[in-house]
Chain A
Amino acid sequence: MRKFETFSGVAVPMADHNIDTDRIIPARFLKTIKRTGLGVNLFNDVRYNDDGSEREDFILNQSHYRNSEILVAGDNFGCGSSREHAPWAITDFGIRCVISTSFADIFFNNSFKNGLLLIKVTPEQRDALLEDAARGENARIEIDLENQKIVRPDGEEITFDVDPFRKHCLLEGLDDIGITLQSDDRISSFEEKQKQSMPWMQGARV
């Protein structure tokens, strides 16, 4: 995983609440067997017309948002299915950070595992950032994970909380599986114990 570095970028405002994973990446694009290449289908059904041409009224089709790296969203972003294709599509498009007041649990987990930073802010802070984002390229926002702050275009800083473990993994670009396997002995002794106390839990052949 690529290390997460401080950056400043254009933010795209999407104020709708409950933007679900079917909207982020409709099910018919889950037929892929790869993690990459989903960016073109991000928000597919609201982004394109039936004939495949772009819908002018969709915000990511407007010239100053095409290279957005930050998304500022309404409440409960990412609700719905467990598809990791949602963060894959978002990051493949080039977005590295989503800011909202709340996120759905599975989406939250999936995002951090793919180097996508999710930041929770208060409704007032979100509304202010939505206003910044509405100014497109005229208002770049800085995301500083190390110091846990968002720097607004006028220089004002918004600090945020982040789970220390997730922060560490993002900054170092670490892979969870490698970290967990450091506890291999403990996992093995758990398995031994369970084999004794709950023998029926052992696997079941088809």
Chain B
Amino acid sequence: MKGNMMDGPKTLFDKIWDSHLVEEKDDGTCILYIDRQIIHEITSAQAFDGLRENNRPVRVQDAHLLVADHNVPTAGRADGIENEESRIQIELLEKNAKEFGLPFIDFLDVRQGIVHVIGPEQGFTQPGLTLVCGDSHTATHGALGSLAFGIGTSEVEHVLATQTLLQKQPKNMRITVNGKLPEGVTAKDMILAIIGKIGTAGGTGCVIEYAGEAIEDLSVEGRMTVCNMTIEAGARAGLVAPDQRVFDYLEGRPMAPKGAAWEQAIEYWKTLKSDDGASYDIEVELNAAEIEPQVSWGTSPEMVAPIGSVVPNPADIEDPAKRETVEGALEYMDLDPGQSLTDIHVDKVFIGSCTNSRIEDLRSAAAIAKGRKVAGSVYAMVVPGSGLIKEQAESEGLDAIFTEAGFDWREPGCSMCLGMNGDMLEPGERSASTSNRNFQGRQGPGGRTHLVSPAMAAAAAVTGHLADVRELAADVAE
């Protein structure tokens, strides 16, 4: 039997895992109960086909929530969807929802948005439950203390049919961020710095629990940004112990428990933290005070550096394989070793994605955009994470700030995060983007992506190059 099944101090992850264990086979393969699943149009059609082919029903209809996000246009959508393949996928999602009797949000509904934004927003995501989605950034939901991870299409089908998954228990890893983040440094910078430190495979095989003062100080939205990019460190899921901030965030949300059930839930949620003395397979510590605004310079999220520094020189790297990887990245990114990061000019700026499209992200970008103009050479777009966030932003006048500054104010969806819906980079174009992946071609074939925080993205938009947001913020203060 695995050590963590014995009585003794348990980690938060062990607690949630153990409370969802249906069966453990001799070789350690577990049947894990899955409470909830969010389903979008890109990774589900083949799963529903599988159910039909085998004549299998959906086991628990109310455990699922269907919404289209990856492929939806972010402008003029009331006129319908022009791209035929996209339209077929989105219509098929609705058809499948109806045929199998599953909860569904239409793409014209104000509640529509990116799966990882609307789960928490609707209160579908809650502490202590297991949640999956056919999308790797499902780790986002761990910010509310939910054990949440991305799965493939066969597994989507498996959950629909059995409400379980076959899994082996991942290892426990804890990343503690001590102290306080300096002014102008955000959750996005924190997670980029973490990935820069541990590498894109640093968390492989693990669930990462984030802890420490700097994590506790983050808003629930900020924690979502951190947990979101956990997958970029190779881990299965990210987790933060739920606290009063999470309870306050959830209270009154449409799908959150109500009345007596709420009281009962809170009582249980308060037990969801790692016991003193619980042990971790891997521990990493960072000092928040040392983190600066980050930008990625390469084609992997571990290729990041503080904005004040320069593009690294491959000649300084001893390991030949690593050197070659960096050389390849610089060639693709068309950057020179030693070049100042602030000298890098951008063509497009994208503020959006499940990493950074929530209201506080838009507020922090708007604070920089206010009273400024997008540089003449730059096209900049803001894509809120959901229709409700868009409404909220509009009620605060953020849309006006953005449009006056020359940003394009769009409708919610994944948009240029992955360039599937027509919002994309042209070959050779360079972006500052608040999304999570800077892989080759991620935002369009031949496109070059620099990952940054929302405030840094706004700074790049108004200056036309990667820029230190702290300098612009100081300007505003004056």
Contacts and interface: CB of A to CB of B under 8 A. Distances in A.
Interface in A34-91: 34-35, 45, 50, 74-76, 79-84, 87
Which of B123, B153, B204 has the most chain A CB atoms closer than 10 A to its own CB? B153
Contact of B22 (A32, A80, A106, A186): A186
B6 interface: no
Contact of A187 (B46, B71, B164): B164
A15 B261 CA distance: 55
Contacts of A106: 136, 150-152
Given A74-B321, A165-B25, A81 B46 contact: no
Contact of A200 (B154, B261, B446): B261
Contact of A22 (B42, B70, B439): B439
B103 A206 contact: yes
Interface in A153-206: 163-165, 176-177, 179-181, 183, 186-187, 190-191, 194, 198-206
Contact of A176 (B129, B166, B420, B437): B166
B92 A26 contact: no
A27 to B, nearest CB: 4
A81 B155 contact: no
Contacts of A163: 27, 29, 168
Contacts of B123: 204
Interface in B22-36: 22-23, 25, 27, 29, 31, 33, 35
A28 B419 contact: yes
Interface string B134-164: 1110100000000000111111011001111
A8 interface: no
Given A33-B89, A200-B261, A203-B61, A187 B33 contact: yes
Contacts of A148: none
A45 B89 contact: no
A106 B235 CA distance: 10
A125 to B, nearest CB: 16
Contacts of A183: 22-23, 31, 164
Given A23-B441, A177-B161, A187-B33, A114 B62 contact: no
A126 B83 CA distance: 43
Contacts of B419: 27-28
Nearest to A109: B152
Contacts of A76: 200-201, 204, 234
A22 to B, nearest CB: 4
B104 interface: yes
B33 A199 contact: no
B272 to A, nearest CB: 12
A105 interface: yes
Classify chain A's interface size: 35 or more
A50 to B, nearest CB: 7
A105 B439 CA distance: 18
A17 B199 CA distance: 12
Interface bracket on B: 35 or more
Contact of B201 (A50, A79, A177): A79
B22 A203 contact: no
A20 interface: yes
A200 B265 contact: yes
B162 A82 contact: no
B335 interface: no
Given A27-B420, A27-B442, A204-B123, A198 B201 contact: no
A104 interface: yes
Most buried by A among B70, B104, B264, B439: B439
Contacts, number: 202
Nearest to B442: A22
Contacts of A206: 65, 103-105, 111, 122
Contact of B43 (A34, A80, A83, A199): A83
A202 B62 contact: yes
A28 B420 CA distance: 5
B268 interface: yes
A124 B83 CA distance: 48
A164 B27 contact: yes
A5 B235 CA distance: 32
A202 B255 CA distance: 10
Nearest to A79: B200
B66 to A, nearest CB: 9
Given A83-B43, A109-B152, A186-B23, A104 B420 contact: no
Contacts of A31: 42, 71, 83, 85-86, 88-89, 420
B445 A180 contact: no
B7 to A, nearest CB: 19
A33 B86 CA distance: 10
Contacts of A190: 22, 33
Contacts of A28: 419-420
Given A27-B419, A82-B152, A205 B205 contact: no
Contacts of A75: 201
Interface string B183-203: 000000000000000001100
A80 B63 contact: no
Contacts of A198: 128, 265, 268
Contacts of B128: 198
A33 B45 contact: yes
A196 B461 CA distance: 54
B262 interface: yes
Given A31-B85, A84-B134, 17 more contacts: A22-B441, A23-B441, A27-B420, A30-B42, A30-B43, A33-B89, A81-B136, A87-B152, A104-B234, A106-B150, A180-B166, A181-B161, A200-B126, A200-B262, A200-B264, A200-B265, A204-B254
10 contacts: A30-B420, A31-B89, A34-B46, A50-B445, A164-B27, A177-B50, A191-B33, A198-B128, A203-B63, A203-B103
